[in-house]
Amino acid sequence: MCNFKSAIVLKNGDLLHLDGVDSHEDVLSYFKIKDNGNDSFCRVEFVPGEDLCDLDQYKFEIDQERPDWFTESLEKKSVSRLKVIVNKYVVREDRDVLPVGFYILGNVVIKNAGCATIKSAGNATIENAGHATIQRAGHATIEYAGFATIENAGHATIKNANYATIINKNSAKIS
C-alpha cells in the first residue's frame, strides 16, 4: 500500500518522485524503471503525522525489504531530500491565488484556489475553490465551492456547494 509521500531511491542515491503521485509503481513506470529483481532501487515513503504541515511529525518508511546497499547515511540523505520536497507543497501564508500545483494548506486564507490540487486543507479558509480538487478538507471553511471536487469533506464548512462534487461528506456542514 503506497502512502504520501512515495518515492524511489536508486542504488546511486538519486531520489525519484512525482508531484501528486503516491504510487511507487506509477513512479517506476514514469521513469521507465523495470522491477527485474536486481535490487537497483528501493521504495520509500515519507508518511505524515496528524499535522501534514509539521515535517517533524513525518515518519520515514521503507516499503519493501531493506536492500543491503541502503545505508543509514543514504536514509538520512533521503529524509533530508523528502523534507525539501514536501516543504515546497506547504502553504503557511495567506495567498490571493493558488496556481496549478499540489498543496498542503496550513492555517491560511486562500482567496482563489483556481485549478490547484490540495492534498489537505487543514484549517484553511478558501474563499473561492474554483475548479480545485481538494483531497482532504479537514476543518477548512470553503466560502464558495464553485466547481471544485472535494474527495473527503471531513468536518469542513462548505458554503455555496451548488456545482461542486462532494464524494464523501462525512460530518461536513454543506449549504
**Ranges under pLDDT 50 in the chain:** none
The grid coordinates of residue 62 equal 521503507
The grid coordinates of residue 159 equal 458554503
For residues 88 and 55, the answer to whether their CB atoms sit within 8 Å is no
Please give the pLDDT value at position 38: 76
Half-sphere exposure of 30 (CA within 13 A, CB side): 13
Output the CA angle 97-91-115, nearest 5 degrees: 40
Please give the pLDDT value at position 142: 93
Is residue 74 exposed (0-12), middle (13-18) or buried (19+ Cβ within 10 Å)?
A: middle
Please give the pLDDT value at position 20: 87
Backbone angles phi, psi at 159, to 5 degrees: -110, 155
Between the alpha carbon of residue 45 and those of residues 17, 58, 115, the distances in Å are 10, 10, 26
The grid coordinates of residue 135 equal 483531497
Please give the pLDDT value at position 68: 94
Q: Which amino acid is at 102?
A: F
Q: What is the pTM (predicted TM-score) of this model?
A: 0.88
Please give the pLDDT value at position 2: 74
d(CA 43, CA 25): 9
